[in-house]
Amino acid sequence: MFTGLTPELCAQAWDLVRPAIERAAEQGVIRGAAGDLVVMDPARPGTLLWSGSIGETEDKTYGYAVAKAKVAERTGYDTSRVRMDVPHLYTAGDIVYPGGVVRHGMVVAFSGVEGEADEMIAEWFVAAVRGIARLAFVSPHGPDATGTRYLGE
């Protein structure tokens, strides 16, 4: 039964995105297949919902991903946009690297490769979540044939 964004949905999306990261590294698009991804809980601001990693990561990489997600969540902007368009929204202690995105009510951040590629990977993840969620939400008989008016019933 579909109930919205869950850790299980995130894990499924991550399983789809990981091979793309590996392929990008194999082709030399990114410097390697290593890093950490975090997802903030849209129902509980300031709370991490899920995290995943690929390759050999370091504690600092996970910390960078969390820091990027917190800046994106607080400002409502991708961290690349904060850096370029609204640097006045930075506060003491904020990370300045790109890689955190705000898309369709989700805040996701990746850290581990180049900042621009970190952002790309976060966007891939959001796209995978949205696609999986749409398929789970909409029954084969149409969006109003899900069997309930309220999720979780």
Q: What is the pLDDT of residue 137?
A: 79
Asked whether residue 146 carries a pLDDT value surpassing 60, the answer given is: no
Two structure tokens written together for 40: 């903030």
Q: What is the pLDDT of residue 66?
A: 98
Percent of the chain with pLDDT over 70: 90
Which amino acid, residue 14?
A: W
Two structure tokens written together for 81: 């946009």
Asked whether residue 63 carries a pLDDT value surpassing 80, the answer given is: yes
Which amino acid, residue 144?
A: D
Q: Give the contacts of 148 (CB within 8 A, at least 6 positions apart).
A: none
Cα dihedral across residues 85, 102, 131, 12: positive or negative: positive
Asked whether residue 142 carries a pLDDT value surpassing 60, the answer given is: no
Percent of the chain with pLDDT over 90: 83
147: helix, coil or strand?
Answer: coil
Q: 58, 129 in Cβ contact below 8 A?
A: no
Under the banding of pLDDT at 50, 70 and 90, the label for residue 152 is low
Mean of the pLDDT values across residues 113-126?
97
Under the banding of pLDDT at 50, 70 and 90, the label for residue 59 is very high
| pLDDT (tens digit per residue) in 21-32 | 999 999 999 999
Q: Give the contacts of 113 (CB within 8 A, at least 6 positions apart).
A: 25, 30, 31, 32, 34, 35, 121
Q: 126, 103 in Cβ contact below 8 A?
A: yes
Residue scoring higher pLDDT (92 or 151): 92
Q: 103, 123 in Cβ contact below 8 A?
A: yes
Residue of 139, 116, 24 lying closest to 68 (CA atoms): 116
Separation CA 19–CA 147 (nearest Å): 34
| pLDDT (tens digit per residue) in 83-117 | 999 999 999 999 999 999 999 999 999 999 999 99
